[in-house]
Structure 1
Amino acid sequence: MQETHLPPRTAPGRSCVACKRRKIRCNREEPCSYCTKLGLQCAYPNAKQSEKERCTDDVMSRLQRIELLLERLDAKASISGSTSAQSTGDATPLDHGPLEDTYNSHRTNNGKLVLEEGDERFVSGSFWADLDATEEKDVRPVEPNISIPEYIPSVIANVFPGPRNVFLRSETEAKDLHQLHPSGGVLLSLWQVFVEGVDPVLKILHIPVTQRQLFWASQHLTEIPPAFESLMFAIYFAAVTTVQRPTCCLDLFQEDRQTLLRRYRLGVEEALAKANFMSRPNVTTIQALTMFLICARVSTDKGYIWSMVGLLIRLAMKLGLHRDPAELRISPFMSEMRRRLWWQIYVLDIRTAEDSDMDPFICDHIYNTHFPTNINDADLDTDMKHAVTNAQHRTEMLFTLLRVEVSYAAQKIVFSSNSAAGQKHPRLSLKVTNKFLQEFVANLQDKYFKYCDPQVPICFLAETATRMIVTKMKLTLYHPAQKSHSDVPTETLQDLVVQSIEIIEGVHILRTHDKYARWVWLFEKYVDWDAVAFLLNIISVVPSSVPLERAWDAIDVFFLDWKDRVTDSERWRRLEGLLMKASVSRSTPFCMLLRSDGDALAPTMKSHADYVGLDTAPLMLGPEVDVPPCHTTNESAATGEQSHIDWNFDNFLLAQDMPSWAMAVDGDPLL
């Protein structure tokens, strides 16, 4: 049988020269049908030559990229060299911050947000990110969606299943989150407590938007995305944290406080794990985790909080929260939400570092996010097109901005020399630091305090707490390990002693006064401990500098307040040792008890298992909350049931424009 010879074909995908020139389909025969029809000579390009040319083009393209990278590196090296040279000159105290244009000019690549498998991810000016910097088609601006985020299961998570709960609590695996939610009536009570007792001093959320989301979600529990569900449980947990008297919790929420704290902590953890927040974080899950850690810090093991804050910072940086949203082309509304969130994380880092006697994680050179804008929630809208400007009056952001300002200054003063070196802050002399603190307080007066009315409780609280923290920073400058008291002028030492006494007295008033009960929970932890330690040390070394009667009255009040509710046994033992040393010649019943029984002052320590929700204080809701049985009385001072003190303080506006409880909630969960 005669064989049939098929016409030879070139490699698939190649066209003859004529067809390629005419940009028509070639059947790749030799000759092809088009050339045969027109009587043209059919010729195909030389495959080897084409591959060689393509390889040459590819090499040239890579060389151009490498040249571009080298130019960028050379520019960065020049900037770094000039910066180092400037740092050896006369440094002005703490005058360079993230808000200055000079900082932005030192960064040639601030990174960008990219979309990767439907999620936002921040890429910085690393080697691999810079390789693709010229390919703008692969890196497009992200406009975050402010609606309740949808949950898209991760393929990798399904292929490599692991512990669903990042907190390693295996008993949460089988929990049904629907059963952990409160009933409708209790949810409304929790939300009201949150709005009045948490939001004014912890400004992370936009209340009108969150309220609409929350009410919609409460009616559609089976449809809630895990990310928003974690935020719901964080709101519940925060609300219960503020109501610290057990009987008040029973009246408001019909359940025991400890039970509620454990349940809602369980809900936060399980919802975060379900949202796969470590691999696929978003703004909502970071809001939930931040709020949970801030509230849990009031009564939880400091080592646990310290570890979790490190994780939180990494997740925030993965979302690009450390970069100002103006650089990332994000909407004005989401820009403000991201700034609020980043600076709450920043302050939490400062506070946990102080609690743990460590240096903060966050350094100035890794972020350039601007301070949140001084503006009310009512002036922010999800559809706004233009950025807002700072209001020249008191707003809901009062406490937040004061808290941020003080924390930013404290980072440069109260931590170790190693931290200052890592932050590239000059080590300032005592004279320069004192001058800086004076100018700092004057700046706060001009920006915030002049708009405050001392007769308004939240204004008095804000100014009092701020001045106490500034005084606390002064005490660190005269710490016995840093400076001998014999080197301190007598007048300065006496001023510090009086200020220390005023801190102790002021904190006690804030703890026990009805006007401030709703808000004290956040910053009521250890601010007075440093003052007591300083005072006891001065009494031991230079007793003539101390008004002894007033000083001992303040010290006695402090120890009676704290004796039965200490969570930091190490610091308590240090104070106990200072007290015993200072009370050698002291003849009060309290000090005699100390000398006769070394265990008399031993605090009632909580076990680690109890850290999920310590019931240590009777802080009440304010008079605006219409729950008569729970009104605070002065008996709290007698029972010693106060909450912790901490120099965490935030934001508030006296006349909040709260959304109506009757707000219509349609099918759209947001707006």
Structure 2
Amino acid sequence: MALFGPAPQGLHKTGKLIQGSGKTRYIDSNIWRNLADHMGLSSDEGEDDYDEHEDTPASAEPLDPASAAFFGPATPSQNLLNAHPSYETAVKLWKLYVRNVDPICKLVHVPTGKAMVEKAAADPSAIDRVTECLLFAIYHFAVASTSERECEDTFGESWVVMQRRYHNATRQALVAAHFLRTTELAVLQAFVLFLLPMRNRYDPHTFWILTGIAVRIGQRMGLHRDGEEMGLNPFDVQMRRRVFWQLLPLDGMSGQLSGTGIAISADSWDTKQPLNINDEDIWPGMETPPVERQGATDIIFVLARTEIGKFHQKVKPQLGLWSKLWEAQDQAAIQTALSDVERHMEEKYIRYCDFGIPVHCMAMAMCRGALQSGRLRVKLGMAKNHGSTPDERRLLYTLASKILDLDIAVHENASLQRFDWHMKSFFQWDPLIWMLNEVRREDTVLDREEVWAKATHIYKCHPELIAGKRSDLSHPELNPGHRSIDLALGRLTVRSWDATQKQRPSPIPEPSFITELRKVMTRKEISRHSSTTQTPSLPANSVNVAPQPLPEIPVSNYINGNMPWGFATYGALDNVNNDLDWMFWDQMLQEPSTFPNV
């Protein structure tokens, strides 16, 4: 089976890309296509009368009613000129961005970005609105990527204060740049840079709408069509590919967490993955396409994630839904496919990785963790359908342990703390859920103390799993409260601990994370009881509120059967609309006896 095939055959390719003045607009309707053929339209013709303001100074305070109404300013409008940092601070923020953010997403061309920051920081009053929104998005992301201590040590200000400042400034700058109607790639880059660090701070439903808007803006610019085929210059081709291949995982992940499972259709685009090159290999205005390198480059993490995502997209339609794989007795086929892609990743990326380079470590962890997760899911599905012997359960434990040990190692590696903002967005659900259910069985084959030592490590590395620890800003709209999946996992963890205590010769003091989880559950029960004794009403932030008490709600009501098996592995496979049997976990989360042999 070939891992990677040609572009989707169903893609409609009659559209035209109109470009000019640094803007691109994709049209694929008969009316506009005919006008373009006969009248030679420009990239912004037919937009409206507001675009004339885009190149005016940023301080001119434009009004875009649609954008302003959509984003709703968190604070009264301010003169953004006052929000710009000093030259020294701007340079520090840029260096933090290059160190902590750029290796993971490669959304900004570093040489061009460096020149932009230095020029703008020297005279903020002279920059246009497009540049300003990209600058504030970079500043905001740089702060978001730091810890409270690092922020205080570097800037002498609290993380919350700086995050609030640049969060508000970015929102206002996006509105000023008319982001809902933009045809400027830099504005879309700013919007995506704004969304990435907000994954855990906006509630899942709102975030899915926001990523959908980013996708629509990208489609309006024609990012779903490969720029090389559309005749763009080599630099624009590569940058558009980079932005598009960030939109895919962002939209896929948000669709899963919101419960819709809806993301960009695989047959609606033909954009190739970016070339394996360093930023120094491309520059604005270049005329000759860059020569692809062999080995590790600046973009290694992005490309490794892209290749694994392409593998999943390729194999899924051939082998059917992952959740039906074992029912069709295709386990051998998927195991072979996993071995093939593992060999491909080892030969193309992993063998070139240097353990001394942090982003190389992330790439290796992502590749190996995602593939191990795939193997675990296949074996869990087999166990669900056919039961499992003690030896098979020991093998499951070995696989699950490898995945969790990798997660722990990544989080405890000091050199990788710079990527903590990214790692906290993903978690290894499958192995921990299986372990917690297995350990409370009376006939478990696991070493209970070893399992709980591992669980303690996991909760230490992922304090965000303890519901109520997800809020770090004072903005109400950035307080997602209790994620339903976190609550379900927390309840399972407490029940498994209690079952283990009963099976011990004598109970031992419970770990602090269990105590904290009990407090969360108690608060939820009190809240539920209180809400049932009052007249029902719709709170202002009702999108963050679970509509019913948790114990009676299957997890699939929230995750709706679509969590990808690589979703937890540092964003490896969240760039396609994958399917998994979350009904399997629903039953296990509520009552493991449903599967007596699992």
TM-score between both structures, scaled by the size of structure 1 = 0.66
Q: Which residue matches 2:474?
A: none
Partner of 2:570: 647
Is 1:585 paired with 2:500?
Answer: yes
Residue segments in structure 2 that go unaligned for 5+ positions in a row: 45-51, 471-480, 525-538, 544-566, 574-598
Q: Quick one: structure 1 residues 116 and 560, their matched pair in 2 at CA, closer, same or farther if it must change by over 3 Å?
A: closer
Summarize deviations over 1:251-307 as a string: whole Å, max 9, x none: 212211111111111111111111111112310011001111111114443222211
Q: Indicate conservation of the 8 Å contact 1:478/1:485, yes or no.
A: no
The residue matched to 1:121 in structure 2 has which SS?
Answer: strand
Matched, 1:465 2:366: yes
Is the 8 Å Cα contact of residues 379 and 396 (structure 2) preserved in structure 1?
Answer: no
Distance 1:178 1:130, change over 3 A: closer
Partner of 2:430: 530
1:392-436 per-position Cα deviation (integer Å, ceiling 9, x unaligned): 121001111112223334557899x99899xxxxx9933322221
> What SS does the aligned partner of 1:558 have?
helix
Q: Distance in 1 between matches of 2:153 and 2:459?
A: 31
Question: How is 1:20-35 mapped onto 2 (pairs within 5 angstroms)?
Answer: none
1:4-15 mapped onto 2 (5 Å cutoff): none
* 2:412 match: 512
Query: Could you list the per-position Cα deviations for residues 538-587 of structure 1 after superposition, in whole angstroms to 9, with x for gaps in the alignment?
Result: 33458544343322211122234423735653112211332244331334
Contact map agreement 2:54 2:130 (CA 8 A) in 1: yes
Distance 1:215 1:178, change over 3 A: same
Partner residue in 1 for 2:289: 387
Deviation larger for 432-441 or 504-513: 504-513
The 1-side partners of 2:99 and 2:282 are apart by 20
The answer for the alignment partner of 1:322 in structure 2 is 224
Partner of 2:490: 576
Work out the CA distance in 2 between the residues paired with 1:159 and 1:238.
24
1:451 aligns with 2:352: yes
CA gap 1:596/1:171 in 2 versus in 1, 3 angstroms: closer
Q: Tell me the equivalent position of 2:279.
A: 377
What SS does the aligned partner of 1:114 have?
A: strand
Cα distance in 2 between the residues matched to 1:598 and 1:121: 51
1:254 pairs, out of 156, 159, 162, with: 156
Deviations 1:461-519 (A, max 9, x none): 32123211222333444557x86164356655433322222222322232232121112
**1:7-28 Cα deviation digits (max 9, x unpaired):** xxxxxxxxxxxxxxxxxxxxxx
Which residue does the alignment assign to 2:24? Answer: 120
Cα deviation 1:131-167 (Å, max 9, x = unaligned): 558x36536899xxxxxx98158xxxx9996255254
Percent sequence identity is: 22
- Structure 2 CA distance, aligned partners of 1:159 and 1:225? 12
Q: Does 1:224 align with 2:127?
A: yes
Query: Residues of 2 paired with 1:350 and 1:300: CA distance?
Result: 16
Mapping 1:320-359, distance limit 5 Å: 320-359=222-261
User: 2:26 aligns to what SS in structure 1?
Assistant: strand
Post-superposition CA distance 1:67-119 (Å, at most 9, x none): xxxxxxxxxxxxxxxxxxxxxxxxx5x8454xx26x46x55624221259995
The amino acid that maps onto 1:252 is T
Distance 1:577 1:321 in 2: 43
Contact residue 523 and residue 649 of structure 1 kept, 8 A: no
Query: Counterpart of 1:408 in structure 2: which amino acid?
Result: K
Say whether the 8 Å CA contact 1:374–1:390 is kept in structure 2: yes
Q: Do the aligned partners of residues 438 and 490 (structure 1) sit closer, same or farther apart at CA in structure 2, a change above 3 Å counting?
A: farther
Q: 1:198 to 1:484 in 2, by over 3 A?
A: same
Q: 1:599 aligns with which of 507, 512, 518?
A: 518
Partner of 2:330: 429
Give the distance between the partners of 2:248 and 2:123, measured in 1 at CA.
34
Q: Which amino acid aligns with 2:232?
A: I
Q: Distance in 2 between matches of 1:593 and 1:140?
A: 63
Structure-2 residue corresponding to 1:197: 100
Q: Does residue 364 of the first structure (1) align with residue 266 of the second (2)?
A: yes
Identify if the C-alpha distance between structure 1 residues 463 and 116 changes in structure 2 by more than 3 Å, giving closer, same or farther: closer
Rounded to whole Å, the distance in 2 between the matches of 1:356 and 1:298 is: 12
Say whether 1:214 aligns with 2:117.
yes
- The verdict on how the C-alpha distance between 1:256 and 1:456 changes in structure 2, with shifts beyond 3 A counting, is closer
Amino acid at match of 1:501: S
CA contact (8 A) 1:413 1:473 kept: no
- 2:183 is the alignment partner of 1:281: yes
2: CA distance between counterparts of 1:428 and 1:225?
Answer: 59
1:189–1:131 Cα change, 3 Å: closer
How far is 1:451 from its partner? 1.1
The answer for the alignment partner of 1:659 in structure 2 is: none
Aligned length: 501
Amino acid at match of 2:139: Y
Match of 1:656 in 2: none
- Alpha-carbon distance in 1 for matches of 2:286, 2:87: 32
Q: How far did residue 593 of structure 1 move?
A: 8.2
Which residue number in structure 2 is paired with residue 37 of structure 1? none
Alpha-carbon distance in structure 1 between the residues aligned to 2:85 and 2:278: 29
Residue 73 of structure 2 contacts residue 171 of structure 2 at CA under 8 Å; is this kept in 1?
Answer: no
Q: Distance in 1 between matches of 2:69 and 2:391?
A: 54
User: How many angstroms apart in 1 are the aligned matches of 2:42 and 2:128?
Assistant: 26
Q: Distance in 2 between matches of 1:375 and 1:596?
A: 49
1:187 Cα deviation after fit: 1.0
Task: Tell me the distance in 1 between the aligned counterparts of 2:309 and 2:458.
Answer: 25
- Report what 2:193 is aligned to: 291
Change (3 A) 1:428 1:399: farther
1:391 deviation in Å? 0.7
C-alpha displacement at 1:386, in angstroms?
1.5
Question: How far apart are 1:319 and its partner, in Å?
Answer: 0.3
Mean Cα displacement is larger for which, 196-205 or 528-537?
Answer: 528-537
Hey, what's the Cα distance between the residues in 2 that align with 1:230 and 1:428?
Answer: 52
State the SS of the aligned residue for 1:515: helix
Q: TM-score, normalised by structure 2?
A: 0.74
CA contact (8 A) 1:594 1:601 kept: no
Task: Give the C-alpha shift of residue 358 in structure 1.
Answer: 3.4
Structure 1, 395-404 or 548-557: larger mean CA deviation: 548-557
- The alpha-carbon distance between structure 1 residues 554 and 373, as it changes in their structure 2 partners (threshold 3 A), is same
Q: Pairwise CA RMSD of aligned residues?
A: 3.9
| Higher percent of residues as helix | 2
| Distance change >3 Å, CA 491–CA 549, structure 1 → 2 | same
Q: Distance in 2 between matches of 1:334 and 1:523?
A: 30
The whole-number CA distance in structure 1 between the counterparts of 2:94 and 2:512 is 46
Shift in alpha-carbon separation, 1:432–1:454, aligned structure 2, 3 A: same
Per-residue CA shift, 1:336-381, capped at 9, x if unaligned? 0000000011111222233334324111110000000000011112
- Residues 455 and 164 of structure 1: is their aligned pair in 2 closer, same or farther, counting only changes over 3 Å? closer
Q: Report the 3-state secondary structure (helix = DSSP H, G, I; strand = E; otherwise coil) of the residue aligned with 1:205.
A: coil
Task: Give distance in 1, aligned partners of 2:520 and 2:316.
Answer: 29
What residue ranges of structure 1 are gaps of 5+ in the alignment? 1-91, 143-148, 422-426, 612-643, 651-671
Aligned residue in 2 for 1:557: 457
Change (3 A) 1:535 1:171: closer
Give, in whole Å, the separation in 1 of the partners of 2:197 and 2:412. Answer: 20
Describe how 1:94-113 pairs up with structure 2 within 5 A. Answer: 95=3, 97=5, 100=6, 103=8, 107=11, 109-113=13-17
CA offset at residue 239 of structure 1? 0.7
Deviation at 1:208?
Answer: 0.5
